[in-house]
């Protein structure tokens, strides 16, 4: 069992302070932290990519989600040790810098996290404009997706208070939608509906053992998109009461709850709907509602799903714009990225920058490709995080904290690296899209270095 230690006081090992010496308010308790983590994970992945996962693996739709659940728990264990050891905001970038002391690598990790948020938000925009909205109105999906991104940018510009309040409401709505699917499945089982035989059918692009392996790995890599989000929660460490005690528990409970719900939803989806029908839909859970012999209005579920994917996009655009702002203030990105809207106190240039990238992604990608891009970027980051746990074992801290068994980050490193590798038979455009996003960041970093060098010489 993992070794868990308590901090010596109720506020954690240290009081975190902003650069001006004013500490952040520790207002997030255990229950609110769990809700925040659950809300971070739930969303577009399960609502929109379930069909694409079914298309890769067949009726055994539950299998990729079980494997993804295990990989998420392994990485969550690494985050639990690191956030307890270093209860600070900045997440993966902080851990990478402490472990390797290579600013450029730290920048790459931070920028990949930001880009994963943008590709996730773009996937959510595509999902919003797909079959869920099509159940209500008939309008151009690309136009709707672009307008959707612009609307979220406007909400972000208005203020963080409005964004956070909206997030709480949408989290409750999206969880309700998934519980409705589980409830439909329970009723269906007792009524003798569905085809249990489908649950054991693995149908990939080939029949050889290698083809089955790569097919399942590809489905898992895409399905892992549904589990991302918990890594963002570590940025709330400085505002959490006793983070060394509360974060490990909250991470495991949050990932455990969402993983369990996801597996149940996958089982119900495969039980009630053929994988070929799911594969063709950008609103696969809507197909489950229609297939069930339960009088639940598909239009109402479509509205719930629209709220769910909206929440994912909102959280990710918020996260990406704040990362831009933070990196600008640290002198990593051009200083203009740190400019704030005077009356609203929101990072206006950062929001505009990430919105333009999101619009570009929406215009050139579909749900499956954008979701797979998100998974690929974060799997690369998670592989680094799992390694940093081992590297930082030599760095001792004064306070007691959660320590995960060494075997878990080792297995986590191997698992995340494999799921990020070409063995998953991932589409080439995913690598191209991810490469272009990171290349954009490298260009910005280089330009900033040149500008700062010129300014230093003038002084």
Is pLDDT of 159 > 70? no
Q: Where are the alpha helices (DSSP H) in 226-366?
A: 243-272, 275-279, 284-291, 298-329, 348-364
Distance, CA of 333 to CA of 446 (rounded, Å):
9
| Beta-ladder partners of 403 | 3
Strands (E) located in 14-142: none
Which pLDDT score is estimated for 239?
A: 66
Which two three-digit tokens encode residue 235? 């940025």
- Least confident range of 21-35, 68-82, 230-244, 443-457: 21-35
Reply yes or no on whether the pLDDT at 310 is more than 90.
Answer: no
> CB neighbours of 457 closer than 8 A, spacing ≥ 6?
none
Within 377-451, strands assigned E span none
Instruction: Judge whether residue 200 has pLDDT over 90.
Output: yes
**d(Cα 216, Cα 419) in Å, to the nearest integer?**
10
Percent with pLDDT over 70 in the chain: 91
Enter the tokens of residue 170. 């949408």
Q: Residue holding tokens 């001792």?
A: 396
Sign of CA dihedral 289, 293, 296, 298: positive
Q: What is the pLDDT of residue 344?
A: 74
Mean pLDDT of the chain: 86
The single residue listed with the structure tokens 């640290």 is: 330
- Which residue bears the tokens 């990238």? 357
The yes-or-no verdict on residue 170 having pLDDT over 50 is: yes
Helices 91-100 and 367-391, axial angle in degrees (round to 10): 40
Is the pLDDT reported for residue 120 higher than 50? yes
Residue 459 pLDDT level (bands cut at 50, 70, 90): confident
What is the spatial distance between Cα 277 and Cα 61, in angstroms, rounded to a whole number?
A: 13
| Residue 143, Cβ density class (10 Å: 0-12 exposed, 13-18 middle, ≥19 buried) | exposed
* Residue 25 DSSP symbol: P
Average pLDDT (205-229) is 89
Domain assignments of the chain as residue spans, ordered by start: 37-458
Query: What is the reported pLDDT for 10?
Result: 37
d(Cα 222, Cα 40) in Å, to the nearest integer?
A: 18
pLDDT of residue 325: 82
Q: Are 210 and 59 in contact (CB under 8 A)?
A: no
Give the 3-state secondary structure of residue 23: strand
> Helix, strand or coil for residue 28?
strand
pLDDT at 65: 97
Confidence of residue 9 (pLDDT cuts 50, 70, 90): very low
CATH fold group of domain 37-458: Amino acid/polyamine transporter I (1.20.1740)
What is d(CA 186, CA 184) in angstroms, rounded to the nearest whole number? 6
309 Cβ neighbours under 8 A, 6+ residues apart:
43, 44, 47, 48, 124, 125, 127, 128, 132
Average pLDDT, stretch 158-172?
68
Which pLDDT does position 164 carry in this prediction? 59
User: How many angstroms separate the CA atoms of 79 and 231, rounded?
Assistant: 7
Query: Do the Cβ atoms of 81 and 397 come closer than 8 Å?
Result: no
Confidence of residue 453 (pLDDT cuts 50, 70, 90): confident
pLDDT value for 8 = 38
Which tokens go with 197? 């035989």
For the stretch 248-297, pLDDT in tens is: 999 999 999 999 999 999 999 999 999 999 999 989 999 999 998 788 89
Per residue in 380-411, pLDDT (tens digit) is 999 999 999 999 999 888 888 899 999 999 99
pLDDT of 18 reads 42
């Amino acid at each position: 069992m993992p070794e868990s230690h308590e901090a010596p006081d109720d506020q954690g090992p240290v009081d975190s302070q902003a650069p001006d010496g004013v500490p952040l308010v520790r207002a997030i308790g255990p229950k609110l932290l769990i809700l925040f983590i659950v809300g971070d994970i739930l969303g577009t992945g399960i609502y929109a990519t379930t069909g694409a996962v079914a298309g890769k693996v067949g009726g055994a739709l539950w299998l990729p989600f079980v494997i993804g659940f295990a990989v998420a728990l392994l990485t969550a264990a690494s985050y639990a040790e690191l956030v307890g050891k270093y209860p600070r905001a900045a997440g993966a970038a902080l851990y990478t810098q402490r472990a390797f002391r290579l600013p450029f690598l730290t920048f790459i990790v931070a920028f990949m996290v930001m880009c994963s948020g943008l590709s996730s938000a773009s996937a959510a925009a595509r999902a919003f404009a797909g079959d869920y909205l099509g159940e209500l109105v008939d309008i151009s999906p690309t136009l709707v997706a672009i307008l959707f991104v612009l609307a979220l940018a406007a909400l972000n510009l208005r203020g963080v208070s409005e964004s956070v309040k909206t997030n709480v409401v949408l989290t409750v709505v999206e969880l309700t939608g998934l519980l409705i699917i589980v409830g439909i499945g329970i009723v269906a089982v007792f009524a003798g509906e569905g085809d249990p035989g489908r649950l054991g059918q693995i149908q990939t692009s080939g029949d050889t053992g290698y083809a089955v392996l790569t097919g399942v790995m590809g489905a898992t890599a895409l399905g892992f998109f549904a589990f991302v989000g918990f890594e963002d929660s570590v940025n709330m460490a400085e505002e959490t009461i006793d983070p060394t005690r509360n974060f490990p528990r909250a991470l495991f409970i949050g990932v455990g709850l969402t993983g369990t719900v996801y597996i149940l939803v996958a089982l119900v989806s495969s039980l009630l709907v053929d994988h070929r029908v799911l594969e063709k839909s950008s609103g696969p859970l809507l197909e489950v509602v229609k297939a069930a012999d339960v009088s639940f209005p598909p239009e109402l579920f479509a509205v719930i799903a629209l709220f769910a994917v909206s929440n994912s996009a909102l959280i990710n655009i918020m996260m990406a714009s704040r990362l831009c702002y933070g990196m600008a203030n640290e002198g990593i990105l051009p200083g203009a990225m740190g400019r704030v809207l005077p009356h609203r106190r929101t990072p206006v240039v950062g929001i505009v920058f990430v919105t333009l990238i999101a619009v570009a992604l929406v215009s050139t990608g579909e749900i499956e490709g954008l979701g797979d891009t998100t998974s690929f970027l974060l799997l690369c980051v998670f592989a680094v995080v799992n390694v940093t746990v081992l590297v930082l074992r030599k760095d001792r801290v004064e306070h007691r904290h959660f320590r995960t068994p060494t075997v878990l980050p080792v297995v986590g490193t191997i698992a995340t690296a494999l799921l990020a590798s070409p063995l998953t038979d991932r589409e080439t455009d995913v690598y191209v899209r991810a490469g272009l996003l990171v290349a954009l960041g490298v260009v910005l970093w280089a330009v900033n270095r040149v500008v700062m060098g010129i300014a230093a010489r003038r002084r």
